[in-house]
Amino acid sequence: MSNTALLRPRDADALRAEIRWVASAAEVPVAFGGEVHGDALLLSEFVGTLTNGLRGLSVVRTSGLGGRVMDSGRPASVADYVNTSTITHHYDGPVSGEGLRSIAAVPVIVDKRSRAVLYAATRGASPLGDRTVDLVVRAGRRLATEITLRDEVDRRLRLLETTTPSPDTAPAVAEELRDIHAELRGMARSADDEELRGRLHTVCERLTRVMVGDSPPDAPRLSRRELDVLSQIALGCTNQEAAQRLSLRPETVKSYLRNAMTKLDAHSRYEAVVTARRHGLLP
């Protein structure tokens, strides 16, 4: 198994968290969903179900409500699932067994592909309101952002795993790795998921150790935010550019940079970068 596979948390965990949030925020009796594998949606996560009829159900593209939204890439809802004429009825058995009538389904779109589907449902005759659908859409967008970040981290880690620089290309590769390091720090800064944020920082620390080795015991101790800023400055970014990449205010960037320079006993931003590299704090 590759390091990339070991580092990536299970997407099902993020999916489960969003389904629980939908059930709580929308106050619906049933919320569920699953990941898309190829042309099939596998239902795996549930809140409020009373039977096991939907568990492990494979919904193929274009079939049922979930297959419809998976194929179209757009949310959809039905007020009376079993009697509606807008979907196929391949899954009436498990849906009726659970007593579901009004159902909303929202696809989670990443890179123009459906990667998961979230559902909210009631057992009563009243249709789901716009607020409920909006909340499911919000959860879907949040999950799409999370999966996008994880995909990008995986892509960059695979690049690191397969790159073996020759002496002629080593300087260019080192510069590219520094750029990757800085971008990963920016991604960690903007990630909402605490576990993902921690994993991104772990990857940054691994990358630094691979390029420069372990920091000596007497190395100055910089905070993550100070290292985030220095990693952008090391690429030649201005304070404004660093602020934009890290989703910070320019004044905040200036404050972190000033603190880092003080700790490193540096008199310029570039001296701070050189000193940080000498101490093994930056690649």
What CA–CA distance (Å, rounded) separates 94 from 102? 14
What CA–CA distance (Å, rounded) separates 191 from 90? 39
| Cβ neighbours of residue 170 closer than 8 Å, sequence gap 6 or more | none
What are the tens digits of pLDDT across the range 154-205?
787 777 666 555 555 556 667 777 888 888 888 887 777 787 888 888 888 8
What backbone phi and psi angles, to 5 degrees, belong to 228? -55, -50
CATH class of segment(s) 3-150: alpha beta
DSSP label at residue 214: P
The pLDDT score that the predictor gives to residue 125 is: 76
Contact yes or no for 177/211 (Cβ under 8 A): yes
Instruction: Work out the average pLDDT over 132-151.
Output: 93
- Bridge partner list, 106: 118
What CA–CA distance (Å, rounded) separates 219 from 209? 14
Single out the residue of 229, 270, 269, 282 nearest to residue 251, CA to CA. Answer: 229
Which CATH number applies to 165-278? 1.10.10.10
| pLDDT above 90 for 118 | yes
Q: Lowest-confidence range among 57-61, 104-108, 153-157, 236-240? A: 153-157
Q: How far is residue 93 from each of residues 80, 87, 96, measured CA to CA in Å?
A: 14, 14, 5
Instruction: Work out the average pLDDT over 220-226.
Output: 90
| pLDDT above 50 for 97 | yes
Q: Residue ranges per domain, the chain?
A: 3-150, 165-278
Asked if domains 3-150 and 165-278 share a fold, the reply is no
- Please report the DSSP string for 70-118 in residue order: HHH-S-EEESSGGG-SSS--TTHHHHHHHT--EEEEEEEEETTEEEEEE
